[in-house]
Chain A
């Protein structure tokens, strides 16, 4: 049996649940998935300013708390916290190991950066014109698969740090390595990948992002436990969590996560296999224990997906509140004033009335006028200075708008757009860089 834990499902995820997994779940591997679509482009920008930067901003914090437990419990770590700079992330990790006096071998997986290889004249999935028209391009990263990770597993590195890798591949790689599955055994790869998909968002399968306080109550969300899978050689997996932690794993939480971000369930395309969820069988075999089996798959695609990050201008935002009688009318008057003052710069200016219809752009006829209304204005502009006008005009409503507006806030956010395209697999050359640090004691042995 192989045990793989999920210690982070996004870059800002909580750290304590990963510590609990390391202490109590008797894991073989811990996986930290920390890389969202835009993150790598932002990281690439940091790397341009500083060649030792460009990895996950929380890497140091996570490594300081997890490294001692990983080494003590002999658990190997696989993470995409390398972001735009896996080698710098590996160096930083070794530096922390030295400080903590822990022997440690770190592998960095590179090769996902394909900025110099992509065809700028190709048309991305999201548009009708070529990538080159989305200047300035910041980054282009291919989604690597198990082929890139397994060489690192073949070394005896404790810590494996990647950049862009398909999220579920982080979990599939240790299964293929441990059980010696053939890379052409697509049914097993499909099942293993589905287990990875279930684990990749940490607590989204163990009761996180689930409670509706009504029909879907979840116990002790405060102390929610993260999931781990106990996997058999045929790929069959049982998802569970550490006893005594909060949260919930049952058929409902597993079904929600199984379909999360899935389009055609028979055609879940990844670098390693085209997985098929339509044959999956799930059953509860105990409290907070769900068995997953019978997932399958077909031959992997010939090309890899590439995410291209480009600078998409600046998002300017401003907010202000109105309360009491006629609050909505005053907010609407403020909205009309903003439109007239800003439309020449922002033809797509968006005005939201928070509390009424801002989130779904409708309220399905359920409108009741709330006691208070918060107005939000938002727009994009290529110029940071012009984007800032939105916040400035919202703030100016204090003296130049309707009565009794309060709590104005303004913000400018640099925006990264993402485009998708493909690259031939042969054009991508993953490499593994390995570096080791031994304590004095370990060297004597």
Chain B
């Protein structure tokens, strides 16, 4: 094993879970570490800019990150992300409900 604990690149899916929500054309994504000690690591690595870059094929607008240290969780709000929104989108997943899985594909150091 070339990788050493804590230093390897890993997918968010290994350390965190997420649920997606939709309001019109706005996507919200929670990001919750399984272990509360990983909260700081997520705060440092999963910046709004990093999320915007990772989801560049999906998110066309701004990404805002809200921190909830009280429950050790992050909440991302992504504008212009649902092809117009559930009511008129041509997408397969009009709500964007599967996009939590897209966020968890992101790799961090």
Contact = CB atoms under 8 A, between A and B. Distances in A.
Nearest to B25: A126
Contact of B17 (A256, A378, A420): A256
Given A215-B34, A216-B17, A361-B58, A261 B87 contact: no
B58 A362 contact: yes
B102 to A, nearest CB: 5
Contact of B70 (A257, A278, A348, A416): A278
Nearest to A361: B57
B48 interface: no
A263 B70 contact: no
A260 interface: yes
Contact of B19 (A260, A354, A380): A260
Contacts of B18: 256
A415 B84 CA distance: 13
- Please report whether the interface of chain A is mostly helix, strand, loop or mixed according to DSSP: loop
B28 A263 contact: yes
A277 B21 CA distance: 16
A330 interface: no
A265 interface: yes
B47 interface: no
A422 interface: no
A417 B58 contact: no
A37 B86 CA distance: 9
Contacts of A258: 71, 73
Interface string B37-78: 000000000000000001001100000001010110101010
A308 B47 CA distance: 35
Contacts of B13: 212
Interface string B68-109: 101101010100000001111011110000110110010000
A444 interface: no
Contacts of A282: 71
Nearest to A281: B70
Interface in B3-53: 13-14, 17-19, 21-26, 28, 30, 32, 34
Nearest to A282: B71
A251 B44 CA distance: 23
A262 B92 contact: no
A38 interface: yes
A287 interface: no
Interface in A106-144: 125-126
B21 A262 contact: yes
A256 B98 CA distance: 14
Interface in A374-399: 376, 378-380
Nearest to A310: B87
B contact residues, range:
35 or more
A265 B68 contact: yes
A255 B32 contact: yes
B93 A259 contact: no
Contacts of B26: 263
A379 B19 CA distance: 28
A265 B17 contact: no
A360 interface: yes
Contacts of A416: 87
Contacts of A279: 70
Contact of A417 (B71, B75, B88, B93): B88
A281 B92 CA distance: 37
A125 B19 contact: no
A360 B99 contact: yes
Interface in A214-264: 215-216, 252, 255-264
Nearest to B73: A255
A342 interface: no
B90 A256 contact: no
Given A37-B87, A263-B66, A280-B71, 4 more contacts: A126-B85, A256-B17, A265-B66, A364-B105
10 contacts: A38-B87, A259-B32, A260-B30, A261-B23, A262-B30, A263-B66, A359-B91, A359-B92, A364-B54, A364-B102
Interface of A: 37-38, 125-126, 209, 212, 215-216, 252, 255-266, 277-282, 312, 315, 348, 350, 352, 354, 358-362, 364, 366, 376, 378-380, 415-418, 420
Interface of B: 13-14, 17-19, 21-26, 28, 30, 32, 34, 54, 57-58, 66, 68, 70-71, 73, 75, 77, 85-88, 90-93, 98-99, 101-102, 105
